[in-house]
Chains A and B, each alone.
Chain A
Amino acid sequence: MIEVEQLSKTYGLLPAISDLSFTVNQGEVVGFLGPNGAGKTTTLKILTCFLPPTSGRARINGWDVSEDSLKVRGLVGYLPENVPLYSEMTVDRFLSFAAQAKGVDSRNIKTAVDKVSDDCGLEKVRGRIIGHLSKGFKQRVGLAQALLNNPPVLILDEPTIGLDPTQVVEIRELIRSLGQERTIILSTHILPEVSQVCQKVIIINRGRIVARDSVSSLTAQLQTSRKIRLTVQGPEEEVLQTLTLLPGVLQVERQADGPGRYELKMDKDEDIRADLARSIVEKGWGLLEMVSQELSLEEVFVQLVTEEAGELT
């Protein structure tokens, strides 16, 4: 579906991305993750034919972005970063223009605009001027124009940035529902978004891919220790001492968020949860809560990005 081979782009002498290679299969929702300035937007701009690559190839459905640009642009719906829109037009007029520009047959323009407006929740603002809309609605208008003409590939550059929490949830919901029949690449630096919306994640830093995998296997790979959170009713000093002395426990920390809360780090190969519970109960303390914690995507990300930075310096 989307094939990227050794893609590089330099702005003057400054390399924005170097030697990027990845493939995205049909029907996948891929999160493109990286700190600011990592080259996410540049990559997406190349895929949408807005920028030519300095070297390397990128193909969508077999069409090359440099050679068959018109074909590629016909396949891709694109929501650029910061959502540029014609602010003097009404939503309806703008969407009709976009439909016409994307080659929707003139008889079907109205139906196409109706459909994307409904999908993106724009019914109430269709007659309003885009410049007067709130950020959240502008974002939806941007998404609606990307969906026109039903493109099989969607490329969304930071689709939820600047939205309020309810809007973020709605937009993610929308993207997830769109992802059932389309290939979607979305860039973001908001990590929970990726774990909620995407099946696969590509993490890039300083223009290079540092990881490319499914969210769950990425977490599993990088997990060197396991974390458990405990809430224990009992004398704190004594509890701390007992927990530290248990075999297999690497580290115990008292948490600041409430009395009797601890975080344990232990070997990931040894499961000592049963021993742990038993020893607490034997002492006559109350075991109120025991939660096993996965390494969050934030931690994976920070680990990868700092590892990379360490290698370079």
Chain B
Amino acid sequence: MRGFTAVFRRELYTFFASPIFYVVGTIFLILSGYFFYNSVAYFSLISFQAAQNPQMGSQVNLNDMVVKPLFDDISIILLLIVPLLTMRLLAEEKKNGTIELLLTYPLRELAVLLGKYLATLLVILILLAVTGVYLIMLAGFGKLEWGPVLTGYTGLILLAAGFVSLGLFASALTQNQIIAAVIAFGALLMFWIIGWIGSVAGPGVGKVVQYLSLLNHLEPFSSGVLDSRDFFYYLTFSVFFIFLTLRYLDTQKIRR
């Protein structure tokens, strides 16, 4: 893939040169740190109670009471911040006209999109990696099972990959970054909560909407279950939106 590296490196450079990354990163870490602190504080409270009441002891478990809630909380924060990281990907290029450079260089459009997509994903991985510090600290104070931690992170990465692909598509639709962020956020939230109507809709539709829900596929990962169906779901989600972006850029070309 010629040009992929060029676009990938340029995107990373722009991320680290722009204040958006630092602001979004700081907010992400403050929020996730707050959630982590909250869970740990609650855990220690329960632990004290458990010390007085021996029957409770078997239920007190770091993985269930701190790690799993932390992953759930991080997934919500990702829902809020990923649209802010993806909004400029194509919208800014359209606004500044640099897309004209990019699309007249001898590069395949797919290489351009993948470069942007993976650079954004890498930035999110860096943020996620920092949250790993919390868990390493936690492991110093108590017994932590690493298996569910790894599956949980796998789930978050796949989720983030899905988010970024939809964000990329939203960014292709407009040259206004705010509009791109709003579309991405709205669409992601819709995919997040679409499963809710599953219980009231008919049995057929209910199954479909529950399958579509981003949230439902994250659940197994954070509980430590790896299921190929969930992998497949997130990968399809990403591929679908990258493909859609590619097609959209093509139709734009004709309409311009």
Contact = CB atoms under 8 A, between A and B. Distances in A.
Contacts of A86: 10, 14, 96, 98
A103 B5 CA distance: 11
B121 to A, nearest CB: 20
**Which secondary structure dominates chain B's binding surface?**
helix
A88 B97 contact: no
Nearest to A82: B97
Contacts of B101: 78, 80, 84-85, 98, 145
A161 B222 CA distance: 58
Contact of A50 (B9, B103, B107): B103
Contacts of B107: 73, 101
Interface string B94-115: 0011111111111110000000
Contacts of B229: none
B256 interface: yes
B17 A88 contact: yes
A214 B117 CA distance: 49
B111 to A, nearest CB: 9
Contact of A74 (B6, B17, B106): B106
Contacts of A76: 104
A11 B99 CA distance: 19
Interface string A70-83: 11011010101010
A86 B13 CA distance: 11
A82 B198 CA distance: 52
B253 A97 contact: no
A220 interface: no
Contacts of B242: none
B7 interface: yes
A233 to B, nearest CB: 58
Contact of B7 (A73, A80, A101): A101
A11 B102 CA distance: 22
Contact of B254 (A45, A52, A88, A93): A52
Contacts of B102: 101
Given A80-B97, A101-B7, A102-B105, A88 B14 contact: yes
Contact of A84 (B9, B13, B97): B97
B143 interface: no
B25 interface: no
Contacts of B6: 97, 100-101
Most-contacted residue by chain A among B3, B7, B105 (CB, 10 A): B105
Given A52-B254, A88-B18, A97 B106 contact: no
B45 to A, nearest CB: 47
Interface in B66-84: none
A93 B13 contact: yes
A103 B96 contact: no
Given A73-B106, A101-B7, A103-B2, A89 B13 contact: yes
Contacts of A74: 106
Contacts of B103: 49-50
Nearest to A149: B106
Nearest to B95: A84
Most-contacted residue by chain B among A85, A87, A100, A101 (CB, 10 A): A101
A86 B97 CA distance: 9
A51 B105 contact: no
A51 B100 CA distance: 10
Interface string A30-68: 000000000000000100111110000000000000000
B98 A101 contact: no
Most-contacted residue by chain B among A80, A84, A88 (CB, 10 A): A84
Nearest to B107: A101
Contacts of A100: 3, 5-6, 9
Nearest to A49: B104
B23 to A, nearest CB: 15
A93 B96 CA distance: 18
Contacts of A11: 256
A300 B96 CA distance: 36
A45 B98 CA distance: 14
Contacts of B105: 73, 98, 101-102
Interface in B89-144: 96-108
Nearest to A77: B104
Contact of B104 (A50, A85, A87, A89): A50
Given A80-B101, A84-B96, A86-B14, A51 B256 contact: yes
A50 B108 CA distance: 13
B100 A101 contact: no
Nearest to B254: A52
A63 to B, nearest CB: 11
Nearest to B5: A100
Given A85-B98, A89-B14, A100-B3, 9 more contacts: A48-B104, A50-B253, A52-B254, A71-B106, A78-B104, A84-B98, A100-B9, A101-B6, A101-B7
Q: Which 4 pairs, one residue from A and one from B, show the smallest C-beta to C-beta distance?
A: A84-B97, A100-B6, A74-B106, A101-B6
22 contacts: A48-B104, A49-B103, A50-B103, A51-B253, A52-B253, A73-B104, A73-B106, A73-B107, A74-B106, A82-B97, A84-B96, A85-B101, A86-B98, A88-B14, A88-B17, A89-B14, A97-B10, A98-B105, A101-B3, A101-B6, A101-B7, A101-B106
